[in-house]
C-alpha cells in the first residue's frame, strides 16, 4: 500500500505491488519446506536456478502493469498470458494451506 501511494495514483503501480505482495507471501511455504531439507538439496544448483528463474518470470509478469500503468492495458497483458503469474501464485498459496509445512523445532534451526 505504501509503495503504491509513493509511486502515484496509476492503477499499474497498485496492481504491481499487490501482485508482488501475494508473490512474496506465496514463497513463504516453500521456504519453510526447504528448512527441513538437507543442505545439499537446498543448495542444489538446478534447484537454486529454478527458483531464480521462477521469481524473475513472475516479477516480470507483474512488472508489465508497472510499465503500462493503465488498469485496462495491464489486464489485457495478463489475459494474453492466461494470468500465468497469478495462477502460479494461487497454486503456491493453496499448497501452503492444503499441505502446511511442519514447524521447525527451535533446537534444530540452522
Q: Which residue numbers are catalytic?
A: 7
Instruction: Decide: 27 and 93 in contact? Cβ < 8 Å.
Output: no
User: For residues 36-70, b (16+ Cβ closer than 10 Å) or e, as one string?
Assistant: eeeeeeeeeeeeeeeeeebeeebeebbbbbbebbe
Instruction: Decide: 77 and 23 in contact? Cβ < 8 Å.
Output: no
Instruction: Decide: 14 and 5 in contact? Cβ < 8 Å.
Output: no
Amino acid at each position: 500500500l505504501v509503495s503504491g501511494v509513493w509511486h502515484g495514483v496509476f492503477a499499474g503501480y497498485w496492481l504491481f505491488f499487490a501482485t508482488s505482495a501475494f508473490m512474496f507471501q506465496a514463497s513463504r511455504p516453500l521456504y519453510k519446506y526447504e528448512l527441513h531439507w538437507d543442505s545439499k538439496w537446498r543448495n542444489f544448483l538446478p534447484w537454486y536456478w529454478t527458483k531464480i528463474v521462477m521469481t524473475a518470470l513472475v516479477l516480470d509478469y507483474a512488472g508489465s502493469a508497472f510499465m503500462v500503468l493503465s488498469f485496462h492495458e495491464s489486464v489485457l497483458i495478463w489475459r494474453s498470458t492466461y494470468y500465468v503469474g497469478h495462477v502460479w501464485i494461487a497454486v503456491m498459496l493453496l499448497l501452503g494451506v492444503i499441505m502446511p509445512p511442519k514447524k521447525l523445532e527451535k533446537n534444530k534451526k540452522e
